[in-house]
Amino acid sequence: MGVSLPRKDLFDIPEGVIYLDGNSLGVLPKGAAARATQVIEQEWGQQLIRAWNTAGWMDLPRVVGDRIGQLIGAPAGSVATGDTLSIKVYQALAAALKMRPDRRVILSDNGNFPSDLYMAQGLIGTIDKGYALHTPAPEDVASAITEDVAVVMLTHVDYRSGRMHDMNAITEKAHAMGAVMIWDLAHSAGAVPVDMAASNAEFAVGCSYKYLNGGPGAPAFIYARSDIIEGVQPALSGWLGHDAPFAMELGYRPAMATERLRVGTPPILQLAVLQEALKAWDGVDMADLRAASIRLSECFIHEVTARCPDLRLASPADPATRGSQVSFAFEHGYAAMQALIARGVIGDFRAPDIMRFGFTPLYLDEADIVRAAGIVGEVINGKIYEAPEYQTRSRVT
């Protein structure tokens, strides 16, 4: 058994706030600000450029990658960190297409996060060799995997509904048809148990500012299965992906490990904050976390549906097929969410009508959930969302 949950003492949560948006941006871990100050004042400030060696900056992408790897079932050395998730999607997809040069279909689903699809569309336009992106409904993906498919690229947990794909079954089908498998773990890492090694998928990508609490703009990660890495041809052949960057060779020679998937200078400040944030996971058993997540989400569904018949559950009712979030559809969802936020219950909204709530057992307990559901009932049944101040949409919803 791991440590007991929640671990609220490890986080700075504003007084009076019930934070149900950790699936979009995690809360501030205690120690993160001090770690950033240390890097700025002591490492950068005092050691200057020497800190690349003396403070271990050059090794930080690997060190943090290995810690993330422990949360996603990836062996040491198989996870590289840095850049953004969109860049990591591009890297994985470009490398995967080169592994199947005679095929021209990229298969995703129409519930995938738009940025992943945009990156695929952009890559197709850049290559300009007759590739096509197919996006069937999520439930039809398995049957759409044929021998024409080069790459299957899916987000494990749907960002709107929380619907969760069967990772092992789909990966097995992809491999049976000769396709390469890429999983986006943006809503999985730190939320549900993941075992990349057992899945046998070639690639996975993910971000670290959601359930991993790395902060806004925290660096993304990319996983590559250990037995394929030396054959991976990086599309973005950056300096720090070179086997010997300080040899200053004019030609690119990829590193002989996942390091080849590094691109440019690593974001040291953000990596250091993420490294500090990941300490909250020390001793946490993902099976315990998943059990707590299901208890919290089931409690929320029960409490909200009992109070609010006007809300429609937009997430799978079966927790085994749902990630660590719950979504309700409501015609006035945006305004209702703004009214909730004004009352200290912070979730978010996704078009066209989804009110989305995330469950992070590291800092939420059942009492939080019951109080939040009560406030949801007050806002919906009292039609508080009709107030004028909740009608104007912000740029970020």
Active-site positions read: 113, 184, 209-210, 356
Among the listed residues 63, 38, 66, 64, the one whose alpha carbon sits nearest the alpha carbon of residue 51:
38
Q: What's the per-residue H, E or C state across the chain?
A: CCCCCCCHHHEECCCCCEECCCCCCCCEECCHHHHHHHHHHHHHHHHHHHHHHHCCHHHHHHHHHHHHHHHCCCCCCCEEECCCHHHHHHHHHHHHHHHCCCCCEEECCCCCCHHHHHHHHHHHHHHCCCCEEECCCHHHHHHHCCCCEEEEEEECECCCCCEECCHHHHHHHHHHCCCEEEEECCCCCCCCCCCHHHHCCCEEEECCCCCCCCCCCCCCEEEECCCCHHHCCCCCCCHHHECCHHHCCCCCCECCCHHHHCCCCCCHHHHHHHHHHHHHHCCCCHHHHHHHHHHHHHHHHHHHHHHCCCCEECCCCCHHHECCEEEEECCCHHHHHHHHHHCCEECEEECCCEEEEECCCCCCCHHHHHHHHHHHHHHHHCCHHHCHHHCCCCCCC
User: In this structure, what token pair is assigned to residue 340?
Assistant: 């909730």
